[in-house]
Amino acid sequence: MTEHVPAQHLTDATVLVTLTGPDRSGVSTRLFEVLAGFDVEVVDVEQLVVRGRLVLSVLATEPDDLDALSAAVRQAGTALDLDVEIERGVGDNRPRRVGRSQVTLLGHPLRPAAMAALTARIKAAGGNIDRILRLARYPVTALRLEVSGADPDQLQSDLAEAAFEHRLDLAVEERGILRHAQRLVVMDVDSTLIQGEVIEMLAEHAGCSVEVAAVTEAAMRGEVDFEESLRTRVAQLEGVPAQALDAVYEGLVYTPGARTMIRTLKRLGYRFALVSGGFTQIIERIAEDLGIDYHAANELEIVDGRLTGAIVGNVVDRAGKADALRSFAADARIGLKNTVAVGDGANDLDMLAAAGLGIAFNAKPLVRDQARTSLNSPYLDSIVYLLGITREEVEAADAGDLD
């Protein structure tokens, strides 16, 4: 039998008590001690501190003697050097409307004009901002807005133009119980997880780096077929000693924030996968180094200690990346809505579209325009803000590891 717990009647009289002023220890304790002297129930509490200024609001059922409660609260406020507002009303907070979204925005810097433009678009879409929380102050300013009353898909579309105009990174996710579930993060490697392109690094050993780089750029812009371009580039590597792979791996540089992002999300039980148009001989070693759960890439053929200029098996192309994401999600028993995909090239577009949250990271214009979410910060750990994690939480967790 399901237990039914009755909600407060919406017509019950309530009183809203708000204290504002300099923050100090013990304010909330003192307020609740005062309220404890009256026969009231606490309905809701909100507290915010900005630059040492406190705003503390308590919504409670109305007591038999409202004047006595008001006098007691004001006396406590005077002792604490706080301003007091007391407002009588009816019922709980206004019910939050359907269509609940989490809007995360990142700015470097974040200007008032940008906030004005975004909030105006939210209002025009029929949305109401229920709560705003700062997630990070550096290296970017990140805010999370909880919005109700607007369709999340429509909100994403409406806010994208304003975000682009004001050079903001923005993500809109539907708020629901699934946002608390375990997630799978699937990442591209070249120019996403690492700086630069592995195939261009190998091409330096073959003396054809300029030619290969030109084809790579065209492929990432979507101007040429990826598989055709890959086979063309790999063919130019014929004769390169296999030891060049070791040299390339040793010279790899991770994108700033990569280790922080992976370390932070793994603490929360997230799974990780690498899906790359690059090569298994490199990807396997990266996966081992970072503790990655799954990986898929192309295998270079090696005969007698040298690259043959050919690829073994099928090419992991644009469609192959999306297929790999679905396969890894199924193996991890994680629904597609709880997958996150991160990439920068045209061959990542199907993967970004298949994921619950597809993020174009410092992407080519074609990819940035088609992806639902674009992140132009140079720091890969900015992704944790899009998932609702604050900078303070990341630093506190890291500090705990040192204890």
Whose tokens are 């308590």? That residue is 58
List residues with catalytic annotation.
188, 190
Which of 262, 199, 206 lies closest to 231, judged by CA?
A: 199
User: Regarding beta strands 339-343 and 357-361, do their DSSP bridges make them parallel or antiparallel, or are they unpaired?
Assistant: parallel
Q: Are 45 and 59 in contact (CB under 8 A)?
A: yes
Residue type, 322: A
Evaluate whether 28 touches 76 at the Cβ level (below 8 Å).
no
Beta-bridge mates of residue 50: 53
Cβ pair 73, 18 in contact under 8 A: no
Residue 80: how many CB atoms within 10 A of its CB? Answer: 17
What is the rounded distance in angstroms from the CA atom of residue 166 to the CA atom of residue 57? Answer: 33
The answer to whether residues 144 and 104 touch, using CB atoms and an 8 Å cutoff, is: yes
Q: Which of 375, 311, 322, 376 is nearest to 346 (CA)?
A: 322
Q: What angle do CA 385, 124, 167 make, to 5 degrees?
A: 40
Hey, which residues does 171 pair with through a beta bridge?
104
Omega cis (within 30) before 378: no
